Amino acid sequence: MLEIQYHGHSCVQLTSEGHSIIIDPFISGNPQAVTKLSDIRVQYILLTHGHQDHILDAVELAKQNDATIIATFELANYLGWQGAKTMALNLGGSAAFPFGRVKMTQAFHSSGMVYDEDQRIVYLGMPGGFIVTMGGKTVYHAGDTGLFGDMKILGERHDIDAAFLPIGDVFTMGPKDALVAAEWVKPKLVVPIHYNTFPPIQQDGEAFVSSLKEKGINGAALKPGETTRLS
């Protein structure tokens, strides 16, 4: 059994048999978050890329839980310099962990921290996504990405139980492209992410779920704080 808790934006927590991991923690800066950062207990933190709305709480959460951050080489080093325990994992690579296995997939986006005060950008490596095997289930977190053809390969090579796909448009795929992605990835369940957090990415999650249903795909537009289970 695998429990999925959605914390809003792209933040997803996976829990099974005493193990818990979180992907892209953005709690304290998320106006829609209902969970307190201090209440989150995890052993590992997975980061898809180095944008503020995906890594904002990573270091604090890592220190709070004595957890390990898993990210690309550049991002792992950047956060390690801030006192967090890190492990580097790059695109195409995979590794075993006490909770299961993590493989990092490609994504088409950008990655870096923007420091407006001195007009400086710190490049933080390639963006990516994750395929996580945990609790006997396989989930795909696409990260921030546009639609790309190799999603078909992911669907062919992996029996994906749940996929977290961005639908916000502007900075990632919109609903129409995410629907195509769902058809290619072939998951048993699709959860839309990266939408409604800020005005530019307003979308109707329930309408997206309805469009999935028309294609014979199960979907769930979880609200921040809501959970679902794969059994």
Q: Each residue of 50-74: pLDDT tens digit?
A: 999 999 999 999 999 999 999 999 9
pLDDT averaged over consecutive 10-residue blocks of the chain (231 residues)?
98 98 97 96 98 98 98 98 98 98 98 96 97 98 98 98 98 98 98 98 98 98 98 90
Cα separations in angstroms, 97 against 103, 133, 149: 11, 10, 29
Pick from 83, 18, 21, 82: which is nearest to 47 by CA? Answer: 21
Q: For the chain, where are the alpha helices, taking DSSP H only?
A: 52-55, 58-65, 73-80, 151-157, 175-185, 205-214
Report how far residue 53's alpha carbon sits from residue 227's, in angstroms, rounded to the nearest whole number: 21
Q: Which residue do the tokens 């609200």 mark?
A: 223
1 alpha-carbon distance from chain centroid: 20
Cβ-Cβ contacts under 8 Å for 93 (sequence gap 6 or more): 103, 104
Report how far residue 197's alpha carbon sits from residue 27's, in angstroms, rounded to the nearest whole number: 11
Return mean pLDDT, the chain: 98
pLDDT for the residue 83:
98
| pTM score, whole prediction | 0.98
Report how far residue 66's alpha carbon sits from residue 123's, in angstroms, rounded to the nearest whole number: 26
pLDDT for the residue 155:
98
High-pLDDT (> 70) share of the chain, % = 100
pLDDT for the residue 225:
98
Question: Dihedral of CA 77/84/14/170: which sign?
Answer: negative
Cα separations in angstroms, 14 against 40, 82, 137: 11, 25, 11
pLDDT for the residue 5:
98
- HSE of 137 in the Cβ direction (CA atoms, 13 Å)? 20
**Ordered domains of the chain (ranges, CATH):** 2-230 (3.60.15.10)
Answer for the pair 57, 25: CB distance below 8 angstroms, yes or no.
Answer: yes
pLDDT for the residue 20:
98
pLDDT for the residue 31:
94
Cα separations in angstroms, 188 against 18, 24, 167: 24, 22, 18
